[in-house]
């Protein structure tokens, strides 16, 4: 499964790149794992402006709409069993094109005060291409992802 590290300065177009990829995969879904609520809201707005019909997923939902091409998931929801159901369903249906880990530097850097970062490993093991996006990911931390 391919891994891609996208480390570009702030406002250099990281979001545009992965939303453009989502716009090309018309029958598939791009899942974006976000560590911050404000970031989730911003990504939702940008994806909607591009006509990508984004969905903000939470464990109270069974499955997102079939028309959704971008699914935004807060990192805190990764430990919920329903996340596994969602991922397994999309993988079985061959609809999950990729998982984007936005602000991925927070996974290794925030583990001491956000325990969910220690439990993100099971989502990192899913058999789909992964893109790790950050403006501040030091090279030595890439191995921790």
CA 5 to chain centre: 13
pLDDT tens, position by position, 95-110: 999 999 998 888 888 8
How high is the pLDDT of residue 115? 85
Beta-carbon neighbour count of residue 117 at 10 Å? 19
Per-domain boundaries in the chain:
3-135
pLDDT tens, position by position, 63-96: 777 778 899 999 999 989 999 999 999 999 999 9
Q: What angle do CA 108, 113, 114 make, to 5 degrees?
A: 70
How high is the pLDDT of residue 86? 93
pLDDT tens, position by position, 7-39: 877 777 677 777 777 777 667 899 999 988 888
Domain 3-135 has CATH 3.40.50.1000: no
pLDDT band at 136 (very low <50, low <70, confident <90, very high): confident
Of 43, 88, 91, 42, nearest to 70 (Cα)? 43
Percent with pLDDT over 70 in the chain: 95
């Amino acid at each position: 499964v391919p891994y891609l590290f996208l480390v570009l300065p702030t406002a250099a177009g990281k979001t545009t790149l992965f939303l453009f990829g989502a716009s090309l995969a018309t029958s598939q879904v791009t899942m974006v794992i976000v560590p911050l609520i404000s970031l989730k809201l911003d990504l939702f707005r940008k994806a909607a402006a591009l006509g990508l019909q984004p969905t903000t997923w939470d464990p109270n939902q069974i499955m997102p709409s079939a028309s959704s091409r971008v699914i935004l998931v807060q990192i805190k929801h990764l430990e919920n069993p329903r996340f596994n159901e969602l991922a397994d369903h999309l993988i079985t249906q061959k609809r999950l094109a990729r998982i984007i880990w936005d602000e991925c530097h927070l996974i290794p850097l925030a583990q001491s005060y956000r325990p969910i970062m220690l439990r993100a490993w099971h989502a990192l093991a899913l058999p789909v291409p992964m893109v790790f996006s950050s403006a501040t990911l030091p090279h030595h931390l890439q191995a921790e992802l």
